[in-house]
Structure 1
Amino acid sequence: TTLTQRMNQLSDQPYKVERLQPQRIHLRTKRVKRCRSCRHILIKPEQKAQATRFKIKLVALNSIPKITITSLPKLILNQQTKIILKFSNPLYEEIIVDLALKDETTEYAKITLLAPHFNITPYNEVWEYEQDFITSKGRPLSITSAPKVDAGIYERRGNYTSVVIEITPLAEIDELKVTYVSKINDSNDNETSGTSGDAPAGDSSTTTETAPSDKQNTDKDDSTSSTSTTKSLSFWTVIGLGPV
């Protein structure tokens, strides 16, 4: 491959032409694009060139945790290796993550999830400037009380949680891939008015439960009510771990 082709694919910078992936073409239009089936707005141009924010919340950007491989050692045949995955919470509410493998044992590897169920603390702008502030339930943690690798939780810091996955390669392959499904649950307690609003787009399921009022007599003119909203979405993830 040429240097330009490697720079366009910075994630792995392949040296073989067979490992090149299709690259997207940059959008050069200012027209609004809608989905043909649900008519949801996919692309809406910004009138002000200096504005960088998104007016429409996207599921993959605003709801799904960012997954990063923080530790990727060399994979050796028939030798157990621990991979550390970092899940970052982009929401301002605490979320619960459930992981499930498509196949625990394949012809290429045996995979074990040490922490299939864990929670991630809410996002806070302060943690971007105070990286040394470790929290657990809103309180700093000492080194002795930090989660251990044996429990499946490698680290909790700020708005992210790192978990451990054990992988034992069973055959030589050019690139070992791990496929699993993630289910995200988050609940938000807020007060909503009686006026109609826009429903969140991109969620697999949304459940709204109205909390009972402590007062027996309420005014009919009062249009506000306390609600608890639980959102749940699932998505498949494929992780490439390199050659064995």
Structure 2
Amino acid sequence: MGRELVRSYSMTDSEMLQQSKTFIELAKLDIDELTAVEPSINLSILNSMDEETTSCINDFSSVESKNSISIAKANVDRTMTKCRNEIQLFFFHCKRTFPDIPSITIEFGKREMEKARLNPEKMIRLMNLIITTYDKPSYKEKLDSRLTANFKDRLEELKQELLNASAMLGVAKANRPVETEARIMRFNAVWDFTRNISEIAKIAFRNSFAKQQQYKLYDTPTHKPSQPDQSDNIKTGNEEP
């Protein structure tokens, strides 16, 4: 089993990206001094990382992921409301259709209604029980007469609608860790590049305290642990700069 990917910095994503953006701009101005120490650093690489950092700053996939989950959950909630209303209507008429059978609503699963009200899986099981029991010859004709013949069809349609909505919510939730991991990989790569610039600058400007201060890394959390403002609920790995 693979290990969970964590951030290689302690600050927020936005703070890290802004600091990286600043370092890249400084490095462009000091390219000659930096290249003298590390020939692999050049303007082409800096421009490429500048574009990647800007792209990360404009990465709203976390918001989009949260929105997709919220939309899917709202769809499940709306469908659950429709299911509850129809089942409440069913039990009302069921009891009056068979006044001579005191336990009739129990046979149709009414005892499970409270548990099913807020649980889509249990709601689907309850609807399956109602639909199956409804088809018994001794019940179907009388129920159709009171509820209309297409009522059971309506229950089957709602059950399928709830199945589909629940599946879409599951997909939205399952996709989020994958999207989060891809985003963290990109952000970590930017931070690694920024740290590399800082290390090169320490040597290139070893005789200038002021220049070294320009390239000093600041990687400390600026928010309380109880109030995280990272874009995802992911553990953070701390590394010394």
Q: Which has the higher strand share?
A: 1
More helix as a share of residues: 2
Structure with bigger RCO (C-alpha 8 Å, 6+ apart):
2
Q: TM-score, normalised by structure 1?
A: 0.20
TM-score (norm 2): 0.20
